[in-house]
Structure 1
Amino acid sequence: MGDQSPIRTAVWGTGNVGRAAIRAVDAHPDLDLTAVIVHNPDKVGRDAGDLSGLDRTLGVPATAEIDGTLGSVDALVYAASGEIRPDDALADINRAIRAGVVVVTPSLYALYDPESAPPELRDPVLAAIADGRGSLFVSGIDPGWGNDILPVIISGLASTIDQVRCQEIFDYTTYDQPDSVRFLVGMGQPMDEEPPMVAPTIPTMVWGGQVRLIARALGVEIDEITETVDRRALDETVENAAMGTFEAGTQGALRFEVQGIVDGEPRIVIEHVTRIHPSCAPDWPSPPDGGDGAHRVIIEGRPRIEVNVEATDEGGNRAAGGNATAVGRLVNAIPWLTWTDPGLYDALQVPLSPAVGKLTRMATA
């Protein structure tokens, strides 16, 4: 690593994920933040340090120029949303791959596990890789490592395993993502309206690949994937500093599971427990310290193993911390992806990358 030129890296998007990506690329000793791509004309020309919440300029002005940028970088963190624009996200990513760029992103859910991805999604990516010699690694922001590599690693500490459960537990009291929170997750919406995030088959579309990835790592066959959903209404109206008023009687908490069924039992489970305020659904799982978020992996078996991860960022916000750790997994994978063969990779293939050089860099900064 030491005698190689820095990897010219761009970040596409400056939302919650993009801000964390800019900071992570800037901090990485083997990466050179070369460009930041934005769509909002108000952001064009602004410095990346300003857009990412750093207290210093980085000398990288944001640009709306896509082709010229992709032609001048080695790697791209694609942080633009794929939730409500999956076809556009796929087209953007394939555009970068065809330019010979290594792409890391959380935006294509079905490619968390490429082996089980639908051909209409996987095949165009493979064609772009063959044509342009770029690469792609997709991992989630929920976070991906909490639903794939962490439970797989922890499973190696057990003698017997009855169930693997991955939990994301959050309340959105300090979160600022109204489109996702209100209109995808359904917070503040009438209880007789089904949130798009938990419409039938959608949870499996998003998280089923991670269930299959864990099963593949553990050497078990999934009989089927099932979904459970539970919702609770707010007893009282609550005010959210970032997203406004959430009325009593509207949805205040959402809990769902994506279950990998093995021999008739839910053996691999990815569970999400989300609230707009901690007072809603207090009987549901909560972070062990009562904070606003945690990621938990539970191995039911012998011995029973439970690991809780609480990450904070942007002033102590755990939702931002979860985003930052997920971004760290993606950004830290860029050197390995750059120095290995072009391809479509998953979390079991991409090694964890220790923070080589980062402690020294921090201490001497």
Structure 2
Amino acid sequence: MIPTVVWGTGNVGRLAIRAVEAHPALHLAAVIVHRPDKVGRDAGRLAGLDHDTGVIATDDAEAVLATRPRAVVYAATGDVRPDGALADVTRAIRAGAVVVSPALYPLYDHRSAPPEFREPVAAAIAAGGGSLFASGVDPGWGNDVLPLLVSGLGTAIDGIRCQEVFDYSTYDQPDSVRDLVGMGRPMDHQPMMLLPSVPTMVWGGQIRMMARALGVELDEIRETVDRRPLETTVTTRTMGVFEAGTQGAIRFEVQGIVDGEPRLVIEHVTRIHPSCAPDWPVPPDGGDGAHRVVIEGRPRIEVTVEATDEGENRSAGGNATAVGRLVGAIDWLVDAEPGLYDALDIPLRPAVGRLGRKRP
């Protein structure tokens, strides 16, 4: 079995622990945490499992990497600390590990990544013999392999739209929701995620990957952003009160322009409460989240994916499918040559050995 480390135990990390535990080819070897109150706790409890795993969380990353684990799921955030995330990932690669991670947005399409991101990773691969596969928690497959797979069912394609529609009132990540995205902040506050060029930094790589796979040239990548205030004060289960008049919903698009038209679009419609912007797209069943791919053309094709985890939590379900894609790639990457891989390199494979397997 492949000794695998999970680095970080937040919304993505606890799902990664479960995914590693469930995978028949992987063995949970260690868990790295940052918060002092998590040190010394069993990984199973940190992941919300009903049993201990025997793996005790540590904050000593150097000691863990010194054991030269074969694989690392890097689940620590890179949203507000991209340099720190890049440094951690390159350390793991230099230790010879295959690394899978959603944290490094510019490397989703490494061919178009800035040199300051790509070159340190390439140097680490050359020095240590590890690999990296970076893909998103949007989930990533909803913006790359799924739309491309479905596009092959059409006769003529006019455009592709990848859409995430989410109510984040059940999402337990206030730093991202309040600070990065700006929910609950005054409408004159400029959220970091909505600064000009930032959406393209995060999702532009997936636009470029789709264009490359479809064999089309992009004229440019454009952004559109719309924001709505809350009309009434709301209280969420996980993140508390959001006041009336503050930002309650955002809608933005990252558009790949082909022959002057937006042909490849990644769209996010995000709310902190379903009462905000009710005229915007909503999940088909009125729930709290969905991912949709629309192929405009002949025929018109629409695919909606809804995933739940941790009860009926669709925000966790979306993360869980993204984690499943990353963790499911580990054994393939271990058998492949060392290198820097993207979503088009990693095949989609059946869940071999997992049908009927007891849940962790």
TM-score, structure 1 as length reference = 0.97
1:308 is matched with 304
| Aligned pairs (5 A) from 1:208-247 | 208-247=204-243
Equivalent residues, number: 359
| Aligned pairs (5 A) from 1:276-291 | 276-291=272-287
Question: What amino acid does structure 1 have at the position aligned with 2:57?
Answer: A
| Aligned pairs (5 A) from 1:61-72 | 61-72=56-67
TM-superposed deviation, 1:172 = 1.1
TM-superposed deviation, 1:353 = 2.4
Please, which of 332, 335, 345 is the counterpart of residue 336 of structure 1?
332
Name whichever of 337-346 and 59-68 sits farther off: 59-68
**Aligned mates of 1:93, 1:262 — CA distance in 2:** 35
2:289 is matched with 293
Residue 145 of structure 2 corresponds to residue 145 of structure 1: no
TM-superposed deviation, 1:71 = 2.8
1:46 is matched with 41
The CA deviation string for residues 30-65 of structure 1, in whole angstroms up to 9 with x for no partner, is: 000010001111111100100000111111000111
The CA deviation string for residues 219-257 of structure 1, in whole angstroms up to 9 with x for no partner, is: 001110000000001110001121111111000000000
**Aligned mates of 1:91, 1:200 — CA distance in 2:** 26
Question: What amino acid does structure 2 have at the position aligned with 1:300?
Answer: E
**Aligned mates of 2:63, 2:125 — CA distance in 1:** 19
1:202 is matched with 198
**Aligned mates of 2:356, 2:185 — CA distance in 1:** 48
SS at match of 1:165: strand
**Aligned mates of 1:117, 1:354 — CA distance in 2:** 30
**Structure 1: segments with no counterpart, 5+ residues:** 1-5
Runs ≥4 in structure 1, deviation > 3 angstroms? none
The CA deviation string for residues 263-298 of structure 1, in whole angstroms up to 9 with x for no partner, is: 000000000000000010001011000000000000
Question: What amino acid does structure 2 have at the position aligned with 1:261?
Answer: I
**Structure 2: segments with no counterpart, 5+ residues:** none
TM-superposed deviation, 1:360 = 4.0
Please, which of 152, 165, 168 is the counterpart of residue 164 of structure 2?
168
| Aligned pairs (5 A) from 1:1-365 | 6-72=1-67, 73-362=69-358
**Aligned mates of 1:231, 1:66 — CA distance in 2:** 40
Question: What amino acid does structure 2 have at the position aligned with 1:327?
Answer: V
Percent of residue pairs identical: 72
**Aligned mates of 1:34, 1:139 — CA distance in 2:** 23
Query: What is the Cα-based RMSD across aligned positions, in Å?
Result: 0.9
TM-score, structure 2 as length reference = 0.99
SS at match of 2:185: coil
The CA deviation string for residues 149-205 of structure 1, in whole angstroms up to 9 with x for no partner, is: 000100100101111000010011211111100011110100111111110000000
**Aligned mates of 2:250, 2:317 — CA distance in 1:** 21
**Aligned mates of 2:81, 2:16 — CA distance in 1:** 20
**Aligned mates of 2:169, 2:311 — CA distance in 1:** 14
**Aligned mates of 2:248, 2:35 — CA distance in 1:** 31
1:3 is matched with none
TM-superposed deviation, 1:70 = 1.5
**Aligned mates of 2:171, 2:89 — CA distance in 1:** 27
Question: What amino acid does structure 2 have at the position aligned with 1:18?
Answer: G
